[in-house]
Amino acid sequence: MDNLYGVYNRSASVYKSPDLAELSLIIVGKGCRGSGLGKELLLEAMRITESNGKKGLFFYTDTDCNYGIYDYLGADRVSEDKIMCAGEELTVYCYRWSNA
């Protein structure tokens, strides 16, 4: 886990900014995937972010997740790192997403 936190901290120091809210976690259960729920949750997170004076979102994901939705919605993938986690190689992505 230290490796993962190192990647997060390094990316945050470079790409996070005060005008962005940080999105920590959204999980959509396997039984609901493909229903549009994830998209609606992300769009609602953006609406809440903007209504609170922020310009967008900053968040992380990895290849264990359905990260393609972030690309589909137009989020900017700003970094990519490979780490070992529980004996498996993961690619960790950092995204920034704004409507500006």
List the CATH number of the domain containing 62: 3.40.630.30
pTM for the predicted model, two decimal places: 0.81
Contact partners, residue 4, CB within 8 Å, separation at least 6: 83, 85, 92
**What is the spatial distance between Cα 96 and Cα 64, in angstroms, rounded to a whole number?**
19
pLDDT of residue 97: 92
Q: Determine the structural domain holding residue 26 and report its residue range.
A: 2-98
Q: How far is Cα 49 from Cα 82, in angstroms, rounded to an integer?
A: 29
pLDDT at position 14, please? 75
Query: Which residues fall within 8 angstroms of residue 9, CB to CB, at 6 or more apart?
Result: none
Strands (E), the chain: 20-22, 56-62, 76-85, 88-98
Domain total of the chain: 1
Per-residue pLDDT of the chain (100 residues; tens, 9 = 90+): 567 777 777 777 777 889 999 998 888 888 988 899 999 999 999 999 999 999 999 998 888 888 888 999 999 999 898 888 788 888 889 999 987 6
pLDDT of residue 1: 55
